Structure 1
Amino acid sequence: MSALDSADDVEVLAMPRLILREIFRTFLPNSIDDNNYASAGSTFDHAKLRYRDFLRRLFKALSHFRQIDAVVTGNFGYRAERELATAMSELRIPFIALHKENLKTPGRVTFFEHIYKERRGAFTGHSILVYNQIEKDLQLRAGVAATTQIQIIGMPRLDRIHSWRRSNTGTTAPRKILFFLFSPLTGMPRIVRKGATTGEVYLEDDGIEEGENSISLDTLCTETCLTILKLARENPDIEVVVKTKGRQRDIVESIRPFGLNDEQPVLSNLRVIHSGDVLPLIAEASVVCGFNSTALLEAVAAGKPVVLPWFAEAERADVNPYVIDLRPLGDVVHSPVELHDLLIKYARSPRPVPAQLGANETATLEHWTGNVDGCAGERTRRAILAAIGRGV
């Protein structure tokens, strides 16, 4: 909520989402999640109404102690907040979703149109703020909300990246490669579901597409990781930083390809990082590598060269619709050897940070993030203040 930092007359109170999740589980089973909330059947309707009534009474009581002008969340589809949106509407308190899951490739647009329409259902709050036209069009087609309820504001977290680039024009960062780890299923069409017990998750369609027609990035992932490891071994003067998303499955998956086990000693120039802010990592990198990651767009905004591995499954026609295509940026490699050589080239001959981004970089950021000017936070601020009747 840094977008409201300059709004001196607005107080921001943070409620951990864990609180609502725990309350939710006293009314509904854990198996009711984001991806089946609307499709779980009428069996749970009464429990949903009871949960909504509790939330309405809770927030009405809270309003006697603190004035509540709006409630803001990070996604229109969070299960524990679906009834909260309706309850806030009944209390005439704007419920605003800063919808952050916006990177939808053509294949994922089709995939999520079904998820939104059939499994998540209509939004019952005040407004949804999205990054780009892709997400707005998708939500409109799926009947999530009316066009007047959906506003494009861009990716707010890109603001500080633009600011960093402008403040560090002309600087270089020698001999450091940043690799954003991706998994074989990154961006692929999978429906993640929650099990009956807390912490249990599974893929609903797990096993349906197994065999020759299975859509995954298994070979691309393995060969990219092994190439990064080979590069680190052969070039001890180049530091290699591997950043995961911090999820348990990422931590487990990073062990084997990067030699973090008894059979392979840890290299002194190789670091695997599971948490923390990505901006310092991007700022210190000579070059960035990854696949199907929002972080690559942050690197583009920072003026860093982004190397895209485009071989193995990335060249398959059935995988292509699910890929964030950054090929217009130019640094595309079609084999592990090309990947190895280009990363070393950029690490040893780092490119100065540009004051202005090129036409391809600007078009890419506009398409995917809706933020080429570094002002998404200001657009967010204006939208929230307008919703609570404070003007700008």
Structure 2
Amino acid sequence: MMEAARRAWMRWVERPETAGAKLARRIDWESATPGRITVLCLERSQFIKDIEELRRLTDMNWVTLSSTRVKLRQELWVPEADREQGYFSVWLKEKRCAHLRPILERFGIGLLREAQKVMPVDAVAAANIDYWQDEALKLGCRRLGIPFLVLCRENYTIPWTVPWMHDHLAKSGFRFEGQGLAVFSQATKDAFAPGFDNADDIWITGAPRYDRWMHLEPLPESAKNAISLITFSDPGYMATNTFLDVAAIFDKVARAEHRDGLTWLVKCKKRGDRKRTLQKIGALEGSPLDFQYDTPLFELYPRSRIVIGYNSLALVEAMLTDAPVVVPCWGETRPPRRDVLLDYNDPLTRRVVTFADSPEAFADLLTRAARGEKLPTGSSEDRRALFEQHIHVPGRDGGPATASAATEAFVRHYVARARQQGMPRQAA
């Protein structure tokens, strides 16, 4: 009863500006240094990987605010039926949601003005172009003359995804109303281009999170103590049944080959993925499997004897290490080419990735890895070539040497342009 009353007060009594200001007090300023350009990032679980690298390698402040908190506060105003990615920004201009626009704008302005009491905010960065919950900050940025930028965490190198995004943009009518977008690859630029008035505002920077991987030294074989399965239990992978087969085989071989010093690790993406995966697999009494979500891949892959997964950028990431990569390739995980990230018919891919064509072949590979056999990896040159098919690597054209440097140049460009155009900088 008290919680319902509190939520009713927040929805109907608390002014949007006040709500925004209260939320701004949760911004993490710990890493900020006065005098630098400051970017307020709407933090998400994957986005933080890039933010951490940008903090390490650039001369800019990357301060963070939980995007979940931003979303939850707006849910008190925005009905569930209207929280549609892509469509919401269009509906805000139409009768359906026009009444929400001034509320969200006041919320965004209140948040940004309160933030500027601590330090000037030179740009705001989100993780995708069309999250509904980012519209309030987009509106606030427009009013205050602050560039709204996107450092996109999605990558569209599975063939079906580019036409799917074109269709989504066409159906929703979405047009990007921020200033610029930074992406990992040419394919991702191609995917989003129809939603932009000027495709030159889409910069291919590569992925800052991979900068530290580029010169990673391999560990000795004696230090490799992990058998690593990257989950693909989410329905979005369209391979739930095969994942359950894979998990059952993984558990069976782990029990048979269990020994001290060898970790059978199921790497989940975040806490919710771990919970969902355990629910789907069911009880595993006495199993040696270790389900984790907070172990960085940067630490896990160098000590992995084998990395297993499907249709995940995490497998491309493994190409920057010497970890053998195995992809289950039967049933749901052997769809047509348009539906797979790593092509099981491509000669280059087959030189650096092992495709297990049956449950029996997969079990055999696990057993061999557990017993210390070094599985095929291909050459480092071929592995890097496969990585570059999916992720842009800066430095080859005389430009910035790292993705972090390219992203910094991207941000500085739009901050400078805003200042040159005389966009107002309104502090409180």
What is the TM-score normalised by the length of structure 2?
Answer: 0.73
Corresponding position of 1:323: 340
Q: Deviations over 1:353-389 (max 9, x none)?
A: 99x8222x22321122223778212211222223223
Distance 1:388 1:249, change over 3 A: closer
Contact 1:170–1:353 at 8 Å: present in 2 too? no
How many residues were matched structurally? 350
The yes-or-no answer on 1:181 pairing with 2:181 is no
Distance 1:158 1:18, change over 3 A: same
Corresponding position of 2:11: none
SS of structure 1 residue aligned to 2:149: strand
- Equivalent AA in structure 1 for residue 414 of structure 2: A
Distance 1:145 1:131, change over 3 A: farther
- Equivalent AA in structure 2 for residue 382 of structure 1: A
Tell me the CA shift for residue 172 of structure 1: 5.3
SS of structure 2 residue aligned to 1:77: coil
State the structure with bigger RCO (CA 8 A, min sep 6), 1 or 2.
1
Distance 1:173 1:78, change over 3 A: same
The yes-or-no answer on 1:386 pairing with 2:413 is yes
CA distance in 2 between counterparts of 1:332 and 1:20 reads 42
CA distance in 2 between counterparts of 1:139 and 1:51 reads 25
Q: Deviations over 1:35-94 (max 9, x none)?
A: 241465631023124312442355346546532211122222221212422431343211
Corresponding position of 1:150: 202
CA distance in 1 between counterparts of 2:205 and 2:54 reads 11
Corresponding position of 2:101: 48
Contact 1:240–1:271 at 8 Å: present in 2 too? yes
Distance 1:376 1:303, change over 3 A: farther
Structure 1 residues 199-278: aligned runs within 5 Å: 216-237=238-259, 238-248=262-272, 250-255=274-279, 257=281, 261=283, 264-267=284-287, 269-278=288-297
CA distance in 2 between counterparts of 1:84 and 1:323 reads 35
Contact 1:96–1:126 at 8 Å: present in 2 too? yes
Q: Deviations over 1:235-257 (max 9, x none)?
A: 11353111122353642433553
Corresponding position of 2:133: 80
CA distance in 2 between counterparts of 1:24 and 1:170 reads 51
Contact 1:170–1:352 at 8 Å: present in 2 too? no
**120-129 vs 11-20, which deviates more?**
11-20
CA distance in 1 between counterparts of 2:225 and 2:58 reads 42
Contact 1:38–1:119 at 8 Å: present in 2 too? no
Corresponding position of 1:296: 315
- Equivalent AA in structure 2 for residue 265 of structure 1: E
Decide which structure has greater helix share. Answer: 2
Contact 1:162–1:301 at 8 Å: present in 2 too? yes
Corresponding position of 2:327: 308
Distance 1:169 1:79, change over 3 A: same
CA distance in 2 between counterparts of 1:313 and 1:181 reads 15
Distance 1:274 1:3, change over 3 A: closer
Distance 1:158 1:280, change over 3 A: same
Tell me the CA shift for residue 341 of structure 1: 1.3
Corresponding position of 1:37: 88
CA RMSD after TM alignment: 3.0
Distance 1:321 1:21, change over 3 A: same
CA distance in 1 between counterparts of 2:84 and 2:296 reads 27
Give the 4+ runs in structure 1 shifted more than 6 A. Answer: 351-354
- Equivalent AA in structure 2 for residue 66 of structure 1: M
- Equivalent AA in structure 1 for residue 212 of structure 2: R
Corresponding position of 1:138: 191
Distance 1:138 1:103, change over 3 A: closer
SS of structure 1 residue aligned to 2:96: helix
The yes-or-no answer on 1:369 pairing with 2:391 is yes
- Equivalent AA in structure 1 for residue 334 of structure 2: E
The yes-or-no answer on 1:121 pairing with 2:213 is no
